[in-house]
Structure 1
């Protein structure tokens, strides 16, 4: 087997390993929104202050992710992976010990830094392990992250509420495992780079897109950013603030409401896994359009339905909306195949950034106008997702799942 053929062979063990590390990384981040009900009770924080906490976490991660990706596209840094998780470990430890609002902001800054370092290089490991199955590899990687985020409501309901901040100590044990795993993965990553250097054969990304002009690529990226903005704004509203709507409008307790949020996020994990392999079969754009257009009517009616219908709509919206999550990363990388880390950092990082802006805006609107009007207003943002129809058409990769 020559070097090029070897690079086309999927390495499933490494795909799963980096996916597990992504789960641990995002579980650490999910501790922050999971703490929101606790912070309201213990420190009397306003919705605006909660939004600012989410803003610091997500914006710091989003701004730095494309920067880290750009730097590592030029000079890959395998051992940045465990270093990023060490930063997140410090952030969680500070959160457990924090007794003031400002210490919490510093703690989430460390978490944001850790995420910014981890995600572009983690996505590169997924790309290196993918071979010809890029959609599947990115789905496994993103499923890990989304699974970690989906744990947030369960952490809140069954760990933080009964045991307080000290309950988050279990996340520190997970992060220690993650640091050890990432150290091993970094060794494999480094060996791959050395082998590539010695063989003088570059990995080549096989794109599903036709040749595009620079103007067409720029326009396609702009459309992707609009889609990510609307989707991230909406999902942050659901994961961080919809719990307060469930309590106010339906009279649910916080633990029961968190189970509803978990349903939404868990179905997002299922959607994320399905999206990548499906895009290998039927094309990236087709999956993106299906994902972001189909849930629009369900998003618009969700604030008005009776309680028994809420979990049904959460299942539909969560599954459909996240089918495109990993696909958008692959689509962006195929638009600019020489910037694997930069495109991963831009797309995933922008998700964090738009979520940060959404958190601040949602928190402020809730303080000014109330919970119900804000939830209704945010649901209307889903109409922006219709721009997906204007993305350049690609072809199916015809790769077996």
Structure 2
């Protein structure tokens, strides 16, 4: 399980690396806004769309080798993106990285569920690994490229090569038995569809917050450092919330934890837009815990609603539904331009309300998990 948590951090590091690479591409190659957006599109949307496909494939046959292979390909794509002058070459390299990220997730989530022995806390640690890796992406990329420029991108492959080597042992995990034999039961597509609505609403809220929070707090409290500190609070409290979600699920059950979390998130997100001065940091922390506590529970619920299609469930809950939420960021920007940023952030509070309303119809799956 420790290997899987670490590998999830390394894999998702390359998702977080893309937005950090884009400014260097713009500076050295004079990419415009459309070209920069195309790079982000190659990494996120393409990756999220193909994740369910990889999930479908792993449902038919266990493929533990996809964990080291996907991670290595993700690193290779980022490592190659700075070497060619052609925009097409760069776009394809970023797309290759996105495919590697996509290939990793469904099989890794299945293995994590097995390695954690159906533990809520174990799966929370696995989810935390991904969150931490995403946050560390810019931390790795910025100093490397600031020192060596785009020619230094091959250095960014090192974590993937190390992680891929360490996870080669996962190829030996027994996976010959079918998922039906191990997780038997009937698929409940209705409940899975409702859960997908919950995840998309949550994702739209978190994408919107992470995109505009620093700008808002810098204006509200004063100074760029104040805005950056707000992001530190958001991601730090979110990491704590991810682990807390597993603990609470062991005591309250997953469905109740999800419902309570989103009920708390509504006033917390609204408070970010309304509370004056440094008190905004408290609202950011509460909102982060509330929005991140259900994160790992979404994955295990999806797996239990589709017990014969664990890979597909993981591909949707970790990939497609999460990335679709990214469409909220441009919408929030458009609303802010038409009114003001405070009004746009207030509207974000509606989204956890939508998640709460959808979660009201969720039923506890027949398959249970332990604390």
Q: TM-score range by the shorter chain?
A: 0.7 to 0.9
Residue 391 in structure 1 maps to residue 362 in structure 2: yes
For these two proteins, the number of residue pairs brought into alignment is: 368
Q: Distance in 1 between matches of 2:162 and 2:189?
A: 40
1:2-401 pair list within 5 angstroms: 15-35=1-21, 43=30, 45-46=32-33, 52-97=38-83, 103-131=89-117, 133-152=118-137, 154-155=139-140, 165=150, 171-186=156-171, 188-189=172-173, 192-194=174-176, 196=177, 202-204=181-183, 217-247=188-218, 250-253=221-224, 257-362=227-332, 374-387=344-357, 388-393=359-364, 399=370, 401=371
**Gaps in structure 2 of 5+ consecutive residues:** none
Q: Distance in 1 between matches of 2:214 and 2:196?
A: 27
Alpha carbons of structure 1 residues 398 and 97: separation in structure 2 relative to 1, 3 Å: closer
* Displacement after TM superposition at 1:226 (Å): 1.4
Task: Deviation per CA, 1:50-103: give whole Å up to 9, x if none.
Answer: 555433322212211111111111112222222212221222113344667655
Q: Distance in 2 between matches of 1:242 and 1:152?
A: 19
**Gaps in structure 1 of 5+ consecutive residues:** 1-14
Q: Distance in 2 between matches of 1:393 and 1:72?
A: 25
Mapped contact 1:150–1:266 kept (Cα < 8 A): no
Alpha carbons of structure 1 residues 345 and 324: separation in structure 2 relative to 1, 3 Å: same
Q: Distance in 1 between matches of 2:321 and 2:227?
A: 24
TM-score, normalized by length of structure 1?
0.79
Q: What RMSD, in angstroms, separates the aligned Cα atoms of the two structures?
A: 3.3
* Displacement after TM superposition at 1:315 (Å): 1.5
Q: Distance in 2 between matches of 1:327 and 1:93?
A: 33
TM-score, normalized by length of structure 2?
0.85
Alpha carbons of structure 1 residues 311 and 193: separation in structure 2 relative to 1, 3 Å: same
Higher RCO (Cα < 8 Å, 6 or more apart): 1
